[in-house]
Each structure stands twice: as C-alpha cells, then as structure tokens.
Chain A
Amino acid sequence: MPIGHELSGEGRAALGEYLLLMADDELVLGHRDSEWCAFAPLIEEDIAFASIAQDEISHAALWYELIESMRGLSRDQLAFGRRESEMRNATLLERENGDWAFTVVRHYVYDIADDLRTEQLLHANEPLLRSVAQRIRREERYHLEHGAMWLGRLAHGGAEAHRRTQHAVDRVLAESRGLFHPLAWEQVLVKEGVLPDRPSRLLRAFVERVHAALGEHGLQIPSLAEKRESRCGRIGHHGPELASLLQTMGEVWRSDPAATW
C-alpha cells in the first residue's frame, strides 16, 4: 500500500509536504557535506565526513522514495528536477560551507533538530514513517557523537579555534529557528492523526538542547527564540546559494533529464 492511502486528499498533501521538507533538508546538507570530500582538515576526517555525507544523501533518498508514489515522480526527478522556489529545505542548510567551525556547528545544530524530528516520527501512526525514522536514527547517533567531539575540540582548541567557533554559533543560531518554522499544513497532520503534535512545536525542546550542548563549552548563545528571519526556505524563499547549488547539482542530469545516466 502506498503511504498515506487512508488519509484524506488534504492529509496526503500535507504528508507529502512534510516528507519533501525532510528530504530537501537532508539532500542540501548532504550535498554541502560532500563538498568537503578530499579537503577536510585531516585525512581521517575526510573519510568520516564522506560517510556522514553519504548517510544524509541516503536519508534524502529514503524520504523521496516515499513521495514517489504520492506525486508520480521518481526520486531523481524530485531531487534534481525542481526549481529553487519548489525546494523546502531550511535556508541555514543551503549556506556555503565556510570554514570547518561553521560546518561543524551547523551540522551539530541540525543533527539536534533532526534527532527531535525523527524521535517524534517514532510516534507516527504510519508504520513506514516509523521504520524509516528508526533506520535514520541508527546512523544519526554517530553524527551527534561526531559533532559533540568536534565542537569540544574546537571550542577548547585555543584562541583562534574558539573565536571561529563562537562566530559560527552566532551565524548558525541566527538562522536555525527556520528549521521549525510553523506551517499551515502541520495542523492537518495532527488532525488526521499522522503526528502526535505539530513539528514546529519542537522548537522549545530544540532551543533547550542547543543551549545545553553549546553552553557547556563556554560559548555565548544569542537569544535564538526571538530571532526573526528574513527568508524562509520552508515556503520556497531561498538565497542565491541554493540557486547555485541546484545549478551545479543538476548540471549533467538536466542536460538531458530523459536520458538514463
């Protein structure tokens, strides 16, 4: 049975939106992660981070596969064939990699958000959502460990590393609220019993987790809860970084979308 077959049309549409949002987050961050391949600070880290990139891109593929039947599009059409305004990823994730501190802090903060999101999915009424979330969480545990290790090493790694880490925290937190932007269709998911609560309401738990994770390393935490973002990726408002990312990512595929590559 395709996912969401027992939901109303409105319910299926809402579920499709949520799956797309998660898939796009994972794809865009996985793509950014993969850009480090061969250029990470140590050979050992090249290997570790390439694994993380593969995990994220594979998670995107898992979510896209669930949407295939709902939208009648293949996972590659979903990943490579949509315009910038159709992408639902949070803007934080499309930003260019910057330095290793920004990469580490962004990833760690995102991993915390993803941990909360997939934990909520363990209580979804759809068995497929639960099983994909379980599978993803088995790998994400290691991403969290990896992020915590690096955050500690950088925050306590001398003056320059600390300064760069603080700068990364300021930049990442200024935009991280966008991960939990409230969206109209969330209420439908709750009403139709797909999710126990609106995903945007995970924001409070997210803020607490982020404060605890960063605060223990003596980093100053900007007041994330009141921040207003200029752009919201969740409704298709993206920056030039995403346009450029999509252009690169689709360069070959879009040269002939009907061809087999």
Chain B
Amino acid sequence: MSEERLAAFEAKIARGELIEAGDWMPDEYRRQCLRLIVTHANSELMGALPEREWIPRAPGLQRKLSVLSKVQDEIGHAQMIYRVAEDLGRPLGITREHMLEDLIAGKAKFHNVFTYPAPTWADVGVIAWLVDGAALETQGALLRTSYAPYARILRRVCAEEAIHLKHGEDIVLTLAAGTRVQRAMLQDALTRWWQPLLHFFGPPDEQSPNTELTFRWRIRLMTNEQLRQSFLRKYVPKVQALGLAIPDAELRQDPATGDWLYGDPDWNEFWRVVKGGGARTEDRLRLRRMTREQQLWVRDAMATPTSAA
C-alpha cells in the first residue's frame, strides 16, 4: 500500500504537479522540505542582524527609511516562511517555538553568509546588492519547487528581494561615484564579501550532501554550481564596470562555455562556518537568546487570558 502511494507520489512529481500541505507525502519528503524551509526562515531572521546594526546610523532620512524597510521585509519573510514550516511540521509535532528554540540553542542551521561582520556603511550596500542578488538566484530557482505552499510564498519573497537589490545597488553606485574615502570603503567591503559570496551557493556539487532525493522529488531544481555560475555571469561584469577589483587573481571567463573559473575559495573555511565557527555566529545567537529571554514576560502576558480587557 505505502509503496503504491510512493509510486503515485513520484508519478505526480514527474508529471510536474505540485504537492499541497494536506496531500499525502513520504515522511522523508516532509523532512527534506522542512529542513530546507526552516533553514531559509532561520536565515531570514538571522540575516536581519548584520543590517539592523546600521538602521540607527544610516546616513540620511531616505537611507534610514530604506534600510529599516529592508530589514522589516527580511523579518517578514522569516514570518511567512515559518508559517509554511509550521504546517509541514505539525504532523511531526514541530512548532515555531521549537524551531526558534533550536535556532538559538545553536542546533539548527542558518546561512553561513549571516555569520560575517558588517563593519562599515558600504557593507550595507554590498549585502543588499550582492548577498540579496545571490539569494535571488537560489530563491528564484526554487519558485518551481514541488512543494506548492513554499513556491507561493517565494513569489512574494522574490518580488521584495528584487527591490532590495535596487536599494543595495543604489547605495553601491552612490559610493562608487563618491569621494576617495567612499570608494575605498566600498572596495574594502567587496573584498570582504567576495569569498562569502562564492560560498553562498554551497560546496561544489560533488561535495554536496543530500542532493539525490531533493532533485528527484523536485524540491530543488538547480545545483550549487549552476546557481553560482548564474550569479557570476550576472554580477562579475557589473562589479567590474564600477571599477572595483574582485579579489581573485584566477578569475576568468571560459570563452567556450561562458562559465567563470575562480580560484579555490577556501572550502575549509566554508565547512568551519557551517559547523558554527563563523566570526559572528556565537555573538548573534547570544544576542537572539538574550532578547528572547528579555521579552519572555511579554510573551507570557500575551498568553494570559484577557477577560478583564
């Protein structure tokens, strides 16, 4: 019976049909989707932290408003994506509270890229332009994922990310056209972020775990390297057009394939960060734990019946 169900499920996926939250699905499909989606939600939530440090310091009212609005969007994405994860997790007894507890306990993953410091205003521009640009590559590819509720949420997420890109590009273009100090600040930020950007898409395909089932079930549709190349094709020429130096002496385009060949971006560093060793991993988790603890009384108050109110 369960083999028939599995065969029917796989036939449905093969026909390009989508899976809804209430449909039957193999437990392993549920777990793989849940892992991907919770990691995405965690990353949106943790991704708010490096940029939020610059909300109070944004230079100019318009910048202040746009950084604030951008960080608000990221938290909004976390909220919507946790909702998708809550539906998936329900039959397994996994709630948003569990997800948040696992995150702050350091038991759940969030994206490597959000473990790096953002020491200058130029980092805000580079993050919003290139990190969000990288995110748009991965999330854009997931629009055709077989899990329908996630695909629907991603349509809105991608629309907002496209605006973040414009916001980041505007900061970057302004600095690139600015004073000597501003241009140097921008170059330093790019130099800092280039390796994390190559890491963004994950290790080379042959080193990437958990891929076979996720591709067969169309949870993911593009490999790490395909996504990385798609990003490099779009952004290397744009970065170079600004007169910025990409810190990779080996970077060159293969004239036959159009692929960008890049120097070894230190995959040992990638794995070290995956295992929780990022420069700001512990600080940012501690900050999340601390604020969550400080606000516990408010959540308790919200849970109190308000018959008197």
Contact = CB atoms under 8 A, between A and B. Distances in A.
B304 A157 contact: yes
A46 B72 contact: yes
Interface in A200-228: 217-218
A31 B56 contact: yes
Contacts of B78: 43
A100 B56 contact: no
B56 A34 contact: yes
B240 interface: no
A188 interface: no
Nearest to B174: A260
Contacts of B49: 38
Interface-centre pick from B56, B121, B181, B308 (highest chain A CB count, 10 A):
B56
B16 interface: no
Contact of A80 (B48, B59, B82, B178): B59
A42 B302 contact: yes
Interface of A: 31, 34-35, 37-44, 46-47, 50-51, 53-54, 57-58, 60-61, 64, 75-76, 79-80, 99-100, 152-158, 160-161, 164, 217-218, 248-249, 251-253, 255-256, 259-261
A117 B10 CA distance: 64
A252 B59 CA distance: 6
B82 A37 contact: no
A154 B297 CA distance: 10
27 contacts: A34-B64, A34-B68, A37-B68, A37-B71, A37-B75, A38-B48, A38-B52, A38-B71, A39-B295, A42-B295, A50-B68, A50-B71, A54-B68, A57-B64, A57-B68, A61-B61, A61-B65, A64-B61, A76-B61, A99-B294, A100-B295, A157-B298, A158-B300, A158-B304, A252-B59, A259-B178, A259-B181
B153 interface: no
Given A57-B61, A156-B308, A248-B57, 9 more contacts: A35-B55, A39-B295, A46-B72, A50-B69, A54-B69, A61-B61, A76-B61, A161-B301, A253-B60
Contact of B72 (A39, A51, A260): A51
B182 interface: yes
B76 A156 contact: no
Interface residues of B, number: 44
B306 interface: yes
B90 interface: no
Nearest to A161: B301
Query: Which applies to chain B's interface (DSSP): helix, strand, loop or mixed?
Result: helix
Contacts of A157: 298, 300-302, 304, 306
A253 B298 CA distance: 36
B45 interface: yes
Contacts of A79: 61
Interface string B36-69: 0000000001001100100111111111110011
Nearest to A39: B291
A76 B63 CA distance: 10
A156 B298 CA distance: 11
A259 B308 contact: no
Contacts of A38: 48-49, 52, 71, 75
A60 B68 CA distance: 15
Contact of A43 (B45, B52, B58, B63): B45
Contacts of B300: 157-158, 160-161
